[in-house]
Chain A
Amino acid sequence: KAGVTQTPRYLIKTRGQQVTLSCSPISGHRSVSWYQQTPGQGLQFLFEYFSETQRNKGNFPGRFSGRQFSNSRSEMNVSTLELGDSALYLCASSLGRSPGTRFSGANVLTFGAGSRLTVL
């Protein structure tokens, strides 16, 4: 079956612009998580969505936002881009069952290949 699909794979923006990244989860997966990966900070959690609701978010400024649609596809948006926003943005999906079941295989994250954003 198809994996997690992220678009676009590469993009270049300038400071002050905004960007929208898209993620299509594995069919049947209802949870979508977003992570930012940089050489200095590693993988940092941005937010997680399930059934169009944000269930957890990381320590990022309000310029970073996301949403999930009824078909489980998700988008994240970064407004007023800064140079430090240059990163690989990774989306991951899972079945996303209810709290307390995170030890099960149902909540193993499957990652996409990422969207590499360069801010000039």
Chain B
Amino acid sequence: GESVGLHLPTLSVQEGDNSIINCAYSNSASDYFIWYKQESGKGPQFIIDIRSNMDKRQGQRVTVLLNKTVKHLSLQIAATQPGDSAVYFCAETHEDYKLSFGAGTTVTVRA
């Protein structure tokens, strides 16, 4: 079965607000996590990654938080924009060359 899952399949957010997308994983051996964004008609696009020896990492307008105790990962998007509307996937790896993806959360930004 899946080793990675997302809490909610959809998220609607007002433009300008912050978005939080959650992800739970089950494999305690997972040591590297990545968030991808997929827009309609395109392949997934890398957003940010984090190693298991970290609990927080920041990028441009995005922050990933990792809680290994409860096997939980989240992606925070600051000041959400219409261009942030997409499907967001978390992925984990515990073996080389293979990513295991969650089911995805569809984020819709309201104007």
Range, interface on chain A: 20 to 34
- The distance from the CB of B98 to the nearest CB of chain A, in whole angstroms, is 5
Residue pair B43, A55 in contact (C-beta under 8 Å): no
A4→B43 CA distance, assembly (Å):
10
Residues on the B chain within 8 Å of A4, using CB:
43
Residues on the B chain within 8 Å of A92, using CB:
43
Given A55-B97, A114-B43, decide whether A42 and B103 contact each other with a Cβ distance below 8 A.
yes
Interface residue ranges of A53-69 to B (CB < 8 Å):
55-56, 58
Shortest Cβ distance from A105 into B: residue? B49
Given A42-B104, A108-B49, decide whether A58 and B43 contact each other with a Cβ distance below 8 A.
no
Residues on the B chain within 8 Å of A111, using CB:
36, 43-45
**A76 interface residue per 8 A CB criterion:** no
Interface residue ranges of A72-120 to B (CB < 8 Å):
90, 92, 96, 99-100, 102-103, 108-114
- The distance from the CB of B24 to the nearest CB of chain A, in whole angstroms, is 14
Interface centre among B32, B45, B97, B100 (most CB of A within 10 A): B97
Q: Which of A35, A56, A90 contacts B96 (CB 8 A)?
A: A56
**Extra A-B contacts (17), CB below 8 Å, given A45-B99, A108-B49, A112-B43:** A33-B99, A35-B99, A42-B2, A42-B101, A43-B44, A43-B101, A45-B100, A50-B97, A56-B96, A58-B98, A92-B43, A102-B97, A103-B32, A108-B34, A109-B44, A109-B46, A110-B46
A: residues with CB less than 8 A from B are 4, 31, 33, 35, 42-45, 48, 50, 55-56, 58, 90, 92, 96, 99-100, 102-103, 108-114
7 residue pairs, one from A and one from B, having the closest CB atoms: A111-B43, A43-B101, A48-B97, A56-B97, A42-B103, A99-B96, A111-B44
